[in-house]
Amino acid sequence: MARPIVAIVGRPNVGKSTIFNRIVGDRLAIVEDMPGVTRDRLYGVGEWLDHNFSVIDTGGIEIEGDSELLKSVRAQAELAIEESDVIIFMVDGKAGITAADSEVAELLFRAKKPIVLAVNKIDNIKRQDDIYEFYSLGFGTPYGISGSHGTGLGDLLDAVVGSFPENEEEEYGEDVIRVALIGRPNVGKSSLVNAILGEDRVIVSDVAGTTRDAIDTPFERDGQKYVIIDTAGMRKRGKVYENTEKYSVMRAMKAIERADVALVLINGEEGIIEQDKHVAGYAHEAGKAAIFVVNKWDMVEKDEKTMKEFSQKIRDHFLFMTYAPIVFLSAKTKSRLHKLLPVVVQVAEQHALRIATHVLNDVISDAVAINPPPTDKGRRLRINYATQVTVKPPTIIVFVNDPEMMHFSYERYLENKIRAAFGFVGTPMRLFSRKKSDDE
């Protein structure tokens, strides 16, 4: 099931980013600290009362063009309203209600989304009375919080998770592979959908951002059932949407959460740009299987070395996704299109692959024998055993004498040995170290 999306909205300097950091905590460190990982603090993952949810910090949405404050705030709020399930409307308890607050409130009234009002900078009991004027905004109980001290967040998050939509029944069976097409505007997502389906179900135009609705398209090929989740889905038009690069990441978040396999589309004609890393990075953080799809390959002047050189560029730019296969094709001419779905099936199977504990431990034992863990101040990391605890993505816990002695480089070594033995093509892996308890 897709995680609910919570957006933090408000005028500048009310403390949105501080609260965002409080909610997502150290979960931002999930992605390895490797060269090529684009760190973007626009979104993160929060946890509260057994709920997992995505969080958007609209302070990270930079609106290009007209820089007038109210227009910028309005634009950010509109993006959040469209993409989120619940909105935290943040105001400043010290400053009181401002014109910008009223502007955002007016937008949110029409949003028909659950709104939770957070009054920040209530740093002590004396300031509690400052929250009462905010009742006049019309959003019910204002929750007094302090970003600097972390107080009041529990009550706020209780209200947020209490506003989540009811879990809908999964509409597709386990045998259906759910595929999300993600990528920046104008890489050819809609054209690829049409090429795969063999019919023009989606409006295609050379103008970036012309797809009007996010469409789930079920189809069957060679006995395998699929659903394509098209991420374009731009319901509103205008400069804000076309000029905000991060908008495509927000749009992709929902689709990625619901998918088994993410097709990361890259424009072969234009090459790789920084925004491609933003979009791909979210698929990686979400633990989804992934395939790089280089589209518009028919437009590229090439010789026998071109494909190899372009593949190397992808590997150099996306060092954190070396597991993802690369498929070159042209949605327009359908050249090499037949190669795509077999790879989708392969990575979906690998994403759901489960390894028996005894087989996994044979590989771990061999890896340790070949390259024993290094010592640290006379102590050596001792690996007791490992077990795979879940799939999608494959997640393995390694029980050790002291998790703090598991160096990142040795963890990566073990992952490489596991991949060499079992494949796990196209899927990220999660490897966690845990101290072996006495009763285990």
Extract the annotated binding site for GTP: 10-17, 57-61, 120-123, 183-190, 230-234, 295-298
Q: Residue 180: what residue type?
A: A
∠ at Cα 104 (48, 114), nearest 5°?
35
Distance CA 96, CA 99 (A): 10
Which of 235, 243, 240 is CA-nearest to residue 212? Answer: 235
- At 66, list the tokens: 């007209």
**Are 97 and 69 spatial neighbours (Cβ–Cβ below 8 Å)?**
no
118: exposed, middle or buried (Cβ count in 10 Å: 0-12, 13-18, 19+): buried
Which of 7, 43, 58, 47 is CA-nearest to residue 281? Answer: 43
**Are 396 and 363 spatial neighbours (Cβ–Cβ below 8 Å)?**
no
**Are 354 and 391 spatial neighbours (Cβ–Cβ below 8 Å)?**
yes
Residue count of the chain, please give it.
440
∠ at Cα 90 (5, 56), nearest 5°?
25
- At 117, list the tokens: 């009002």
Distance CA 97, CA 106 (A): 13
Distance CA 17, CA 41 (A): 9
> Taking the C-alpha atoms of 114, 20, 64 and 94 in order, what is their torsion angle to the nearest 10 degrees?
80
How close are the terminal C-alpha atoms of the chain, in Å?
32
Per the listing, tokens 């991949």 go with 419
Adjacent-strand bridge partners of 45: 54
The secondary structure element, H or E, covering residue 124 is none
Which of 389, 287, 285, 282 is CA-nearest to residue 29? Answer: 285
- At 329, list the tokens: 């094709």
Q: Which residues are annotated as a binding site?
A: 10-17, 57-61, 120-123, 183-190, 230-234, 295-298
Which of 91, 88, 60, 58 is CA-nearest to residue 76? Answer: 58
Contacts of 204 (CB under 8 A, 6+ apart): 190, 191, 194, 210
